[in-house]
Each structure stands twice: as structure tokens, then as C-alpha cells.
Amino acid sequence: MSSLLKQLADKVHIYTSYQYFAGSGYKTVEASDELLRFLIEDMGYKAKDDAAVERSLEWLEKKRWQRAMEAIYVFREDKRFFDVVLNKEEAEGDIYVEIAPEESDDFSEVEVLFEEEETRQEGRSAYVKFRAEISDVLPIGYYRLKLTTNKNTYQTMLAVAPDKCYVFDKKNREKLFGFALQLYSLKSKRNWGIGDFTDLANMVKLTADNGGDVIGLNPLNVLQYCYPENASPYASVSRLFLNPMYIDVEKVPFYHKSDKDENLLKKARDSETIDYVAVNALKMKALYAIYCRLNDHQSDEYVKQFENYKKKDNGDLHRLAVFQAIAEERHHLGEKNISGLETALGHAVSKFAKEHARQIDFFKFLQFEAERQLKAVYAEIKKCGMAIGLYRDLPVGVSKSSAEVWSDKSLYLAKSGAGAPPDNYFPLGQKWGLGAFNPDELKERCYKPFIRILRANMMCAGAIRIDHIMGLSRLFVIPDNGDAGTYIRYNEEDMMNILAIESHLNKCAVVGECIGNVEGGYIERLLDRNVYLLGVLWSERKDDNGTMKEPQEYEEKYFASVGTHDMPPLKAWWFGTEIATMQKLGFYTEEETQKAYHWREHERRLLLNALDRAGVWPQDKLRCGDYIYGENYPEGLEEAVHAYMAKTNSEVFMLMPEDVFQSMKIQNLPGTDIDKYPNWRSKQVIDVEDMAQSEALKRNINLVKLQRKS
């Protein structure tokens, strides 16, 4: 690798090498020259040959001297510094600085101290760079800054962040608990084959009635309308909007019983797993019938609310609806018959929107109703007085064929996508094919796309889980036409400050998912900013032998749980169900299978010993054997495990219904698709209406409450 190429890669924040954990130690991977040149070009710089690299370095050297101020300055409230570049004549004159709240023209002068840092001669002009410090204390939020010299007026944005993220009010309860749910999996006697917002409201009541304060959810974002079988909640077409599949159709105004297709409904309800095609057909047909009735009720308050909802659109809603209408048209007519609509720009899209106005309006109606029903759930949370309420999940990205990317292609890397480096589970790495923000372009947009995504997912939430939160610092990217990748770095301080601002403005705590290849010191930096971490029983080990952490060794700033949606439920884990599945699918050889079973045997022993030491077995179901070989499932095991986790220092503990009701089905088997495993389709063992009277739920909750109070 030439020194010039390495220098340019470093300048544009592309890693020339990275490490990952393999087996018993770390392995270093050097990025090839070809990969570096490709990614540098994808980020908008020239790197075809050494001459191009040299020109790019020269341009970058001059870049900061070509504008008075950057697009935005993001700083903490006690470090109000920014820099200014002025020509010498302006620098020697008077300088006035005014600021106004972001959405206001009400500017007022502020005192700024200027300290000369550097001078530079460019051609015939001399320039001075100042370090500027705002003397006035600014409240948390966003501002417009106007700087006036004897010749010109310049403007920029300021983002003022708190030192730490928002911390929820525990309402005099020392330790909190609740449930972690996959909303789609909720089964009830009244839903239409998939969990919906009414089921969620009922779970809120159930949780609150039992002393719980939080419900964790899978991502609620909108998925592909024409391909409902693409059901992964982590592969949405927009993180800005909700999945209309979660609408309770019978709660929509102007619903008629005739809208319900009883045959299709029976098919959807009777299906052992979620039949997304049947559910989608059933719900969309009914919702379109309701939408068509709105014309007959123009004076109704509900219709007026819908019209106001559309008027408040900043453009994101319209672009999503147009994208969905185009996708539907392509689905019916085929790709070859639809052209000129590859991006949101251009005359062809405007023409299409006019010709398909009604269908576009229907898609907007779906978002209006989904948001209305989610807000009804939020009202129930407030009524119940839950300390946290909904704990929502923000995916790390969206598909490159999503409304977000289609709407703003220049914001994303054009020829590369997000993925993950190799590790013990995926020795070849993972190619997710997700759109990755171009770091420079994101800053030029004043981080507004990121801010809108945060706000959309903090809506109605008391906490938010940031999937792969390491992506706010560095993200592994892979060329679309290749397999090797490396990391690109984002401005971590800016991204974390924006996260802290939105956390406070929305009164929403932040939880960071950072299981994987974590950079040294990163977890400590998260904890320093009041970002909670996930504390998963199966991941919290003390040594290479797999010894489980004692309850008192868990961090307080944890949202703790037994497992996750990517892990088998407790009973399935006990019997090694996922091991057998992996062997059946050809992912494990016979040797690897036997090794996995032996390790699981070892883990069962470790778990039983940990439960014994903690003294958490229910008194009427004390351990009565070793069960080491998995020949039986210990009676009361899930109760003991939940008591163990409830006993931890963690401020929040969440039970999973799959564990309580002894489900044997894993929600998602990483590395597989629907052709190999029915991911994201498992229904709960028990109806929501029957949970409250369930002896299993009562026993588990009572043990959890006992430990959470101690």
C-alpha cells in the first residue's frame, strides 16, 4: 500500500486494517489497495491512481479554508466552541454573532470570544482561522447562527447536547421489569392472524396490572407492501414509518363487518405460523374498503384529522407513499414496463404521482391509522402509570432498495452496503446489503436524516434500543460486487451528541446493542453517556470456561434478559433444538454437532450450579436431579432462571413469553432465510386473553417481583 493511498484513506476515515476475534485470539486483516480505492471513490473522492490520490489530498488540505463555517457544529452544552475562517480584511473588522432557535427568525446577539489559531495564504488572499467560544449558556436543542462581518453574512447550524442521555424516572421503584415481545407473534382470539396494536394495548394492561413498567418490541417499521413474506422487521423499506400490518382493522372508524373475509381470516388464524400473504390480503382489502368510505364522511372529525396529518408532512410521507405505489405498479406490470422512476427526482416521478394519486393517498391513510393506533397504546401506558412504557427497536439500516435510499440516493454510498466482519459464528463475515450513510454528506445535511429517524422511532417510547450501536462510530461496509470489506468511521462525538439531544427532547432513554466486534473503550464511552447496555444471560460469562456471571456482577445500566429473538427460548436451549436444526440444514458437520452438544451439556451444568448458588429455585419445585444430559426438562427451571435474572443489579429485567410458556420455537435463526427456516413467523403458545389467568405467568411474575423488591 502506498503511503499516499493510506494517507487519503485515513483522511476520509476508511480503515486500512481492522481486527476481529477468531477462536482464541484476534486476527488482523489488511484492506487491499483495490478495496481502498473503490471505497474512497464511492465516498466521492478521486483515487483511481496515485496522481488522482495526490489531487484528492491537495483538495482536502484546502477544503476547510474555502468556507467561513461548516454546515453544522455539534457540541456539549459546556463546550460551546466552533471555528471560523475569514479573509484577513474581514478578520480585522468587527464581527457580530446572532443566534435563533432552529425554526425561528427571532435572532438575538450573543457574546463570542475569538482566538486566532492559524493563518494561511491562498493565491493572493490571506485567511485567518479563529477558535470561537460562545459565552452565553444555551439550552439543549438546535439553533441557527448568523455571523456578520464588514463584508458578508454567513450562517450555520448549532446543535447543543447534554452531557448524558435521558434517564427515565423509576417512580420510586428500585428495579423495574416487564416483557420483551415480538408484536407480530402475539396470538389472540380476536386478531386477524398476527399481533396488532390492540393486542399490544392489552399487554400493556396485563404488564401494568402485574407491577411491570416496560414492554420491549421488535422494530415496528413498514415492510415491503407487495412482498409480505419478506417479514424481517430489520429489513424495512423506511425506518420513518410504521408497519400497517399491526393495525387492528376492527378499530378503524367506518369499518363494516362485511369487510372481513371469513374464509381468509380462518386460514390466517389456523395457520401454525404467521401466513403473511393471507394476513396482508385480508387486512389491505378491508382497509382499502374503509378508505373508500372516507369520501362519504368529509365532515367527520376523523377525516379532518387525516387531512391535517397529510398537511404536516415534510415530504417524507409523500415519498414513501409514491415509492410504495411505484413498487405496486412494478409488481403488477413488471420491471421492464416501468422506467424513469429509479430515483425520487425528475419529471417522470411527478407525472406518476399525479396519475396514481388515489393509491398514493391510500398509503398515506395506512400510516395515519397506524400512528393513531400506536398513540392510543401510548395513552394507555400513561393511564397505567408505567415508568418506561414502550421500549422500541431501531434497526441499523434499511435495504438499499428502500424508500429511504430511493428518496435520497446521494446521502448513501452508491456502490457499497453495510455488513459485518468475520467472527466465530460467521467466518466469512455477513453481507447485509443495507444502505450506509456517506459520513461527509450526512454532516452536510446537518445530520437531519439521522435526527428524523431517531424522532420517528422515539415516538410513543420511553426507551429505544439502537441496533448495532457501534455503527454510530464505525460501520463495516462491503462493495456490492465484492466480498471483502473494511470499516468506515463516522464522527462518533457528533452522532452521540445528536443521540443525547433527541433522547432529552423526546424523554426517551437509550439502550445500545453491542454484541459483536466492539472497539476497545467503546462500552465505557457508552456508559459514560448514560447509554444502557443489553445484559443477556447467555452472553454474560466470566471466563473462557463459560462460567455465568453472578447476579451481583451485572451492571446497573443494563436492560437484562435471558435471551434475544436470535436465540432459542429457554426450553429449546435446554434440549439443544437449534443445534439439531443447524445440523439438519447442513450448517454443522457431524463433528461440529457433537462438539456443540457437548458444550451445551457443559452449559447446562453451569446454569444449574449458578441457580443453586443464587438460591432461586421455587420452594415447591426444588432441583431434584442433575438433568445434565438433557434427558428431561427440570420442573420450575424457567421460574428459577427468571428469579436469577430478576436478582441482578440491572435496573431493568424483561421476561420473554416464549420462556414463560415453554415455547420450543426460535423466532429467528441467524444466517438463514425463509427457504431454510420460518424466521419471524412463530406465534405465541397462548392467547393474550388467557395469559392473565395462566398459572405459569403468575408463578414467574411473583418470583420476579420478589427479587426485584429485595
Q: CA dist 304 to 310, 375, 377, 627, 692, Å?
A: 10, 17, 21, 63, 38
Residues 286-306: pLDDT tens digits? 999 999 999 888 889 999 999
- Helix (H), strand (E), coil (C) string for 579-628: HHHHHHCCCCCHHHHHHHHHHHHHHHHHHHHHHHHHCCCCCCCCCCCCCC
Alpha helices in 70-220 (DSSP H): 88-91, 197-209
Alpha helices in 459-491 (DSSP H): none
Q: For the residues 484-512, what does the mean pLDDT come to?
A: 97
Dihedral sign computed on CA atoms, order 424, 430, 434, 435: positive
Residues 60-84: pLDDT tens digits? 999 999 999 999 999 999 999 999 9
Residue 425 binned pLDDT confidence (cut-offs 50, 70, 90): low
**DSSP 3-state helix, strand, coil percentages of the chain (rounded to 5)?**
40, 20, 40
Q: For the residues 583-606, what does the mean pLDDT come to?
A: 93
Q: For the residues 236-249, what does the mean pLDDT come to?
A: 97
Residues 307-323: pLDDT tens digits? 999 999 999 999 999 99
Q: For the residues 263-280, what does the mean pLDDT come to?
A: 96
Residues 131-184: pLDDT tens digits? 999 999 999 999 999 999 999 999 999 999 999 999 999 988 889 999 999 999
C-alpha 93/C-alpha 80 separation (Å) is 23
Residue 682 binned pLDDT confidence (cut-offs 50, 70, 90): very high
Q: For the residues 426-454, what does the mean pLDDT come to?
A: 92
Residue 589 binned pLDDT confidence (cut-offs 50, 70, 90): very high
Q: What is the SS3 assignment for 99?
A: strand
C-alpha 674/C-alpha 672 separation (Å) is 7
Q: Is the pLDDT of residue 336 over 60?
A: no
Q: What is the pLDDT of residue 123?
A: 83
Q: For the residues 414-426, what does the mean pLDDT come to?
A: 84
Q: What is the pLDDT of residue 574?
A: 95
Please name the residues in contact with 293: beta carbons below 8 A apart, sequence gap of 6 or more. 254
Residue 24 binned pLDDT confidence (cut-offs 50, 70, 90): low
Q: 74-91 burial, b if ≥16 CB within 10 A, otherwise e?
A: bbbbeebebebbbbeebb
The phi and psi torsions of 136 (rounded to 5 degrees) equal: -70, 145
Taking all residues of the chain, what is their mean pLDDT, rounded to a whole number? 94
Burial class (CB in 10 A: 0-12, 13-18, 19+), 201: buried
User: Of 200-204, 333-337, 687-691, where does mean pLDDT reach its minimum?
Assistant: 333-337
Alpha helices in 615-694 (DSSP H): 637-646, 657-660, 688-691
Residues 634-667: pLDDT tens digits? 999 999 999 999 999 999 999 999 999 999 999 9
Residue 424 binned pLDDT confidence (cut-offs 50, 70, 90): low
What's the CA angle centered on 175, arms 383 and 377, to 5 degrees?
A: 25
Q: What is the pLDDT of residue 679?
A: 95
Q: What is the pLDDT of residue 25?
A: 74
* Interaxial angle between packed helices 357-384 and 301-311, expressed in degrees from 0 to 180 and rounded to the nearest 10: 110
Q: Which residue has the cell 454510498?
A: 413
β-partners of residue 465 are 393, 511
Q: Is residue 388 within a helix (H) or strand (E), and if so which, with residue range?
A: none
Dihedral sign computed on CA atoms, order 456, 462, 466, 469: positive
Gyration radius (Cα) of the chain, Å: 27
Q: May I ask the CATH architecture of the domain 78-161?
A: Sandwich (2.60)
Q: By the 8 A CB rule, do 484 and 16 touch?
A: no
Nearest to 129 by CA among 75, 59, 72, 65: 65
Residue 454, C-alpha cell as written in the block: 431517531
Q: Is the pLDDT of residue 256 over 80?
A: yes
Q: Is the pLDDT of residue 451 over 80?
A: yes
Q: Is the pLDDT of residue 500 over 60?
A: yes
Q: Is the pLDDT of residue 362 over 80?
A: yes
C-alpha 427/C-alpha 417 separation (Å) is 19
Q: Where in the chain is the domain with CATH 2.60.40?
A: 78-161
Q: Which of 62-66, 193-197, 592-596 has the highest mean pLDDT?
A: 193-197
Q: What is the pLDDT of residue 107?
A: 96
392: left (phi over 0), alpha (psi -120 to 50) or beta: beta
**Percent of the chain clearing pLDDT 90 (strictly above):** 86
Residue 241, C-alpha cell as written in the block: 414509518
Residue 365, C-alpha cell as written in the block: 391513510
Residues 611-641: pLDDT tens digits? 999 999 999 998 887 776 667 899 999 999 9
Whole-model pTM: value is 0.95
